[in-house]
């Protein structure tokens, strides 16, 4: 990347433009991470929650950086010996996105980009879209909570939506690996922080909207405003070669609000008769779900192994998105019967005990309510629910989660999730202080809680272990240790079978 390209795309002062014109270096690396600085790096200083990149300017130059982009509002004293190689911008988050787009040659423009936002369902919807599109000879990568996926390769991630530089780097790799598209989870925090600036989305999908992330957003309106950015940022122009489509769940009242916030084409989905993509005559069992799918009034019989009403909505969202990407209804419907579930999303744990054990990521009141409602539709006997709440997260959500479990499960068992730096018992107090003692069981240790539920369950009962889903860790204090709900359940069943044999 040339200095002139930087001068052309960033909004900087005439003095900083002169600085760039005097530099002859080429940029060979772009990063906001001090640990990734090498010779020829352009370093973008970002003030994060735990570290301020502005405090490391001298260090990055000593390690080979040739240019630093800083925030004009930063109060950190910068080293004077590098003044001729430091330029200031109004927003370094946006500048990182702008520079990454140039550095990686605008990869999103060469991919069919499908962004999925909403409180619940993002992971399942992106996986379903990828599976349907890939099965129709349009290999589609995934960026999301569980991992980034390029072809058959899964790459571990830290955030649901990565920073702008990592995002463009990943999209560039997808392009290099001959992916034709990307199904991407887009979080509200990422939208608020501008991590997706510059990504040329073709389709934006809205799943639903319920309470979450209020520790960050403070209010529901702020939270919704962040979600809405995905749709307002689809653009205002109309290019026949780059049609934009918003796919919106209009059974959700917030979805109806989104319709007026985008100039893009709109495909609605839901159960209401007015939806363009609609499900009716729904039948849910412990083996799967069947329904009649209507697309613009044309009807198709659907049988899917995915279980639950929430998965009907997830399927409709994926169908509408793939339809927006110009797949024929028949191409989409033919794949629905062989869709695979997502790890940690209503995942059944195989066993011969007669107990139905399920691991699910439900970590919001609405998500837990949907999962338990689905279980109650087919449960023969009792329903055990093991659930906790995370530390350093929305405190007001804790009693709401407990209420859902106590109301919809016959046996509610409250335990630890990822307490982080908070006292696990204080979190459990927040969850249970308002509940009658006889309405729940409280076991702080998560392994003990899971084993308690399984030891008390009998054939015909259902045991739901909720909150962590696919996660392979538990964070207690600052220690992150291996932990898997699935493995704990599996080990319990293995011990039982060993004793019986």
Does the annotation place 303 within a ligand binding site?
Answer: no
Does the annotation place 301 within a ligand binding site?
Answer: no
Does the annotation place 80 within a ligand binding site?
Answer: no
Does the annotation place 255 within a ligand binding site?
Answer: no
Does the annotation place 159 within a ligand binding site?
Answer: yes
Does the annotation place 420 within a ligand binding site?
Answer: yes
Does the annotation place 124 within a ligand binding site?
Answer: yes
Q: What distance in Å separates the CA atoms of residue 118 and residue 144, rounded to the nearest whole number?
A: 13
Does the annotation place 157 within a ligand binding site?
Answer: no
State both tokens at 324: 């927006």
User: 285-310 burial, b for 16+ CB within 10 Å, e for fewer?
Assistant: eeebbbbebbbeeeebebebebbbbb
- 309-324 vs 329-336: helix axis angle to the nearest 10? 150
Q: Which of 362, 372, 360, 472 is nearest to 412 (CA)?
A: 372
CB atoms within 10 A of CB 452: 18
Q: First and final CA of the chain: distance in angstroms? A: 67
Does the annotation place 118 within a ligand binding site?
Answer: yes
Does the annotation place 344 within a ligand binding site?
Answer: no
Does the annotation place 478 within a ligand binding site?
Answer: no
Does the annotation place 41 within a ligand binding site?
Answer: no
Does the annotation place 119 within a ligand binding site?
Answer: yes
By the 10 Å C-beta count (0-12 exposed, 13-18 middle, 19+ buried), 76 is classed as: middle
Does the annotation place 26 within a ligand binding site?
Answer: no
Q: What distance in Å separates the CA atoms of residue 423 and residue 419, rounded to the nearest whole number?
A: 7
Q: Which of 384, 389, 390 is nearest to 402 (CA)?
A: 389
- Cα torsion angle, 115, 116, 122, 124, sign: negative
Query: What is the SS3 assignment for 480?
Result: strand
Q: What distance in Å separates the CA atoms of residue 125 and residue 117, rounded to the nearest whole number?
A: 10
Does the annotation place 121 within a ligand binding site?
Answer: yes
Does the annotation place 393 within a ligand binding site?
Answer: yes
Does the annotation place 471 within a ligand binding site?
Answer: yes
CB atoms within 10 A of CB 2: 14
Does the annotation place 268 within a ligand binding site?
Answer: no
Does the annotation place 173 within a ligand binding site?
Answer: no
Does the annotation place 122 within a ligand binding site?
Answer: yes
Q: What distance in Å separates the CA atoms of residue 300 and residue 349, rounded to the nearest whole number?
A: 31
CB atoms within 10 A of CB 248: 30
Does the annotation place 492 within a ligand binding site?
Answer: no
Instruction: Return binding residues for ATP.
Output: 118-124
Instruction: Return binding residues for meso-2,6-diaminopimelate.
Output: 393, 417-420, 467, 471
Instruction: Return binding residues.
Output: 34, 118-124, 159-161, 187, 193, 195, 393, 417-420, 467, 471
């Amino acid at each position: 990347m040339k200095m002139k390209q930087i001068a052309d795309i960033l909004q900087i002062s005439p003095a900083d433009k002169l600085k760039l014109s005097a530099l002859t270096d080429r940029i060979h690396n772009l990063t906001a991470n001090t640990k990734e600085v090498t010779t020829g790096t352009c370093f973008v200083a970002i003030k994060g929650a735990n570290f301020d990149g502005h405090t490391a300017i001298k260090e990055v130059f000593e390690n080979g950086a040739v240019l630093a982009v800083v925030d004009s509002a930063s109060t950190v004293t910068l080293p004077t010996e590098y003044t001729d190689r430091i330029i200031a911008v109004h927003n370094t988050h946006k500048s990182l996105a702008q520079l990454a787009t140039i550095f990686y040659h605008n990869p999103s423009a060469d991919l069919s980009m499908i962004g999925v936002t909403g409180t619940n369902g993002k992971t399942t919807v992106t996986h379903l879209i990828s599976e349907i599109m890939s099965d129709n000879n349009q290999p589609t990568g995934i960026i999301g909570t569980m991992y980034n996926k390029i072809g058959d390769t899964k790459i571990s991630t830290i955030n649901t939506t990565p920073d702008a530089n990592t995002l463009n780097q990943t999209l560039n790799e997808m392009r290099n690996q001959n992916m034709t598209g990307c199904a991407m989870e887009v979080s509200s925090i990422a939208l608020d922080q501008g991590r997706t600036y510059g990504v040329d989305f073709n389709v934006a999908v809205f799943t639903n909207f319920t309470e979450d992330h209020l520790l960050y957003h403070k209010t529901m309106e702020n939270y919704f405003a962040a979600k809405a950015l995905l749709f307002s940022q689809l653009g205002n122009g109309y290019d026949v070669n780059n049609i934009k489509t918003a796919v919106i769940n209009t059974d959700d009242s917030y979805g109806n609000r989104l319709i007026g916030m985008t100039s893009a084409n709109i495909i609605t989905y839901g159960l209401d008769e007015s939806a363009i993509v609609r499900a009716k005559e729904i039948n849910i069992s412990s083996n799967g779900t069947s329904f009649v799918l209507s697309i613009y009034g044309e009807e198709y019989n659907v049988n899917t192994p995915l279980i639950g009403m929430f998965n009907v909505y997830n399927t409709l969202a994926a169908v509408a998105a793939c339809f927006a990407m110009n797949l024929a209804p028949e191409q989409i419907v033919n794949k629905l019967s062989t869709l695979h579930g997502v790890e940690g999303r209503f995942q059944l744990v195989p066993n011969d005990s007669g107990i139905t054990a399920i691991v699910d990521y439900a970590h919001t009141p609405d998500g837990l309510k949907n999962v338990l409602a689905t279980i109650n539709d087919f449960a023969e006997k009792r329903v055990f629910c093991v659930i906790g709440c995370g530390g350093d997260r929305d405190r007001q959500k804790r009693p709401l989660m407990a209420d859902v479990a106590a109301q919809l499960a016959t046996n509610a068992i409250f335990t630890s999730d990822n307490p982080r730096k908070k006292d696990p018992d204080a979190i459990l107090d927040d969850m249970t202080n308002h509940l009658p003692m006889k309405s729940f069981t409280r076991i702080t240790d998560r392994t003990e809680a899971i084993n308690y539920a399984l030891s008390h369950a009998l054939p015909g009962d259902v045991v739901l272990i909720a909150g962590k889903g696919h996660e392979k860790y538990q964070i207690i204090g600052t220690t992150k240790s291996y932990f898997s709900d699935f493995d704990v359940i599996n080990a319990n069943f293995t011990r039982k079978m060993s004793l019986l044999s």
